[in-house]
Chains A and B, each alone.
Chain A
Amino acid sequence: DAKTTQPPSMDCAEGRAANLPCNHSTISGNEYVYWYRQIHSQGPQYIIHGLKNNETNEMASLIITEDRKSSTLILPHATLRDTAVYYCIVRVSGGSNYKLTFGKGTLLTVNP
């Protein structure tokens, strides 16, 4: 699986959009980008995933650059409850390798 690079921490003001970047410059054509978050020591929560088109659901939007070397997770109106560690993962869609490796993620702190 391609490695990802995320900033260790970010701050965001409550009510503003939070834009979390992820670099995956070695991504290959059949690798999906997944985003999860973990609030304190709770079980991580799936947010969204995509291959090459931008995706949106009730939680967030995922913007993937045209060359697919990076992506941005957007929380449109961050709240205090969005304070969490956010993980960006890329994973091949086929083959026999079903490992899913989490990195260190980005600690997003939403401030009042």
Chain B
Amino acid sequence: EAQVTQNPRYLITVTGKKLTVTCSQNMNHEYMSWYRQDPGLGLRQIYYSMNVEVTDKGDVPEGYKVSRKEKRNFPLILESPSPNQTSLYFCASSFLRDNLLGGYTFGSGTRLTVV
């Protein structure tokens, strides 16, 4: 089954403790992206990647890092989490051909709480 898999689904952590949220897709998609969703603010793009070793900032990249060493994986790293990063996070992937972006496939989400 074609899917985007995020782990963990739920995470409670303390301020300053580094964490990684993993994202993996099995569709050989070139494009992957991370979003966060907060009440009243909608979905906001954090980072995206057009292919292996190619990443760029979205609208809210501060406090986050990403890497794309393999095509299927796109982990989101919070080096020093703070309470304002408490949010629902989604990973998404899509094909990217001739500059045309296909429809996203989203993961099920990771609900992160930073205390």
Interface of A is mostly: loop
Mark B residues whose CB is within 8 Å of A: 4, 31, 33, 35, 37, 42-45, 48, 50, 56, 58-59, 88, 90, 92, 96, 99-101, 103-109
For A46, list chain B residues within 8 Å (CB). 103-105
A112 at the interface (CB under 8 A from B): no
For A93, list chain B residues within 8 Å (CB). 99-101
What separation, in Å, do the CA atoms of A45 and B109 have in the docked complex?
12
Chain A interface, number of residues (Cβ within 8 angstroms): 25
A103 at the interface (CB under 8 A from B): yes
Chain B binder among A11-19, A35-43, A70-78: A35-43
- Residue of B4, B33, B88 near A41 (CB, 8 A) is B88
Asked if B90 and A43 make an inter-chain contact with CB atoms under 8 angstroms apart, the answer reads: yes
Chain A positions 68 through 103: 1 when the CB is less than 8 Å from some CB of chain B, otherwise 0: 000000000000000000010001011100111111
Asked if B59 and A101 make an inter-chain contact with CB atoms under 8 angstroms apart, the answer reads: yes
Interface of B is mostly: strand
For B106, list chain A residues within 8 Å (CB). 43-45
For B43, list chain A residues within 8 Å (CB). 44, 87, 102
Task: Knowing that A100-B101, A102-B44 touch, tell me 8 more A-B residue pairs with CB under 8 angstroms.
Answer: A41-B109, A43-B90, A47-B103, A48-B103, A49-B103, A87-B43, A93-B99, A100-B33
For B96, list chain A residues within 8 Å (CB). 98
Interchain nearest-CB distance for A90 vs B (Å): 12
- Residue of A34, A98, A100, A102 near B42 (CB, 8 A) is A102
Interchain nearest-CB distance for B76 vs A (Å): 15
24 contacts between A and B (CB under 8 A): A34-B103, A41-B37, A41-B109, A42-B108, A42-B109, A43-B4, A43-B107, A43-B109, A44-B90, A44-B106, A46-B105, A49-B103, A87-B43, A93-B99, A98-B48, A98-B56, A99-B58, A99-B59, A101-B45, A101-B59, A102-B35, A102-B42, A102-B44, A103-B42
